[in-house]
Amino acid sequence: MLKNVSRFDYLYVMTIDELKQALQGKQFTAPVKLEPHAILQDVEQFLRIQFIEVDLWKKDITKCPAYLRLVKFYEVTR
């Protein structure tokens, strides 16, 4: 399902479990460019930290910065 999100144009709204299934255990070639100012060199560490942050988030998940970074990562690597 597509949803309009103010920070980005349109993103797939995915659950955390869907993101984990889509991203964990896969190999990604570094560097990964999320934005002109955000280039990932250690993708495994990035994913680990983002999933820790979303697991700790208690509010609306679509407002979680780590969730938005994970969705953006999914978008640029699929």
Per-residue pLDDT of the chain in tens (78 residues, 90 and over written 9): 445 444 545 555 789 999 999 999 999 999 999 999 999 999 999 999 999 999 999 999 999 999 999 999 999 998
Domain assignment of residue 1, yes or no: no
| 10 within 8 A of 4, measured Cβ to Cβ | yes
Residue 13 has what pLDDT?
A: 78
Of 29, 2, 4, 14, nearest to 69 by C-alpha is: 14
Residue 12 has what pLDDT?
A: 56
Residue 40 has what pLDDT?
A: 96
The two structure tokens encoding residue 15: 């659950």
Residue 3 has what pLDDT?
A: 52
Number of domains in the chain: 1
Domain assignment of residue 6, yes or no: no
Domain range enclosing 61: 15-77
Domain assignment of residue 10, yes or no: no
Give the integer Cα–Cα distance in Å for 19 and 12.
Answer: 11
Residue 52 has what pLDDT?
A: 98
At residue 20, the 3 state secondary structure works out as helix
Domain assignment of residue 22, yes or no: yes
Domain assignment of residue 54, yes or no: yes
| 72 within 8 A of 34, measured Cβ to Cβ | yes
Of 27, 6, 10, nearest to 71 by C-alpha is: 10
Q: What are phi and psi of 12, to 5 degrees?
A: -75, 135
